[in-house]
Amino acid sequence: MLRRVLCFIDAEPPSTKMLDFFSLTKRISVNLGGDPPVLVLARLPFGMSKSVVAGVRNMVRQHDLLFERLEVAKAMRAFICHRMSSGEELRAKLEWVESDLAVAQKAAVEGAEALKLAEGEKELIRIKVDKLRKEMDNMYFFDYHCCMKKNGITQDIPSLTSNDDDEVRGGPS
């Protein structure tokens, strides 16, 4: 769209002088008289009507270019306003994401601390379980020996009573 508008391609400012539009005209001043003198200036063509038509066409083209420039300026203004508002939206989203990131980092740090505490407690519990297991084994062993003494058992292997005492004591014959 910008390439169609000549002001964005050619850096020449548009002409505002009437002589540029009507180069083949002559300026004539007419004094109408009166107490304060009234002067009328008119531009009349020197030659053919083609020069007048060309001048009018040039004015129409300048008019069209002016309105195209205005349309481009409006479009650029709308684009810039939209980009500025989207920039504010992006800035707001960035702040929101940064706050979420800070919360997530804080949660991760707290989770790591909780994990360390849980691992420490787990180790303490494991040590306590091992200690209790040893105490239980000692108690069972102690109860086992008490039971053996009470029942008159002198060896860890109980003796089996059988009818063939000789075979068992002497082994197979």
Listed by start position, the domains of the chain span 6-111
| Least confidently predicted of 23-27, 72-76, 109-113, 130-134 | 23-27
Instruction: Please give the mean pLDDT across all residues of the chain.
Output: 71
SS3 at position 131: helix
pLDDT at 50: 55
pTM greater than the 0.85 cutoff: no
pLDDT, tens digit (0-9, with 9 covering 90-100), for 5-42: 555 555 555 666 666 665 555 555 556 565 666 555 55
Contact 24, 46 (CB under 8 A): yes
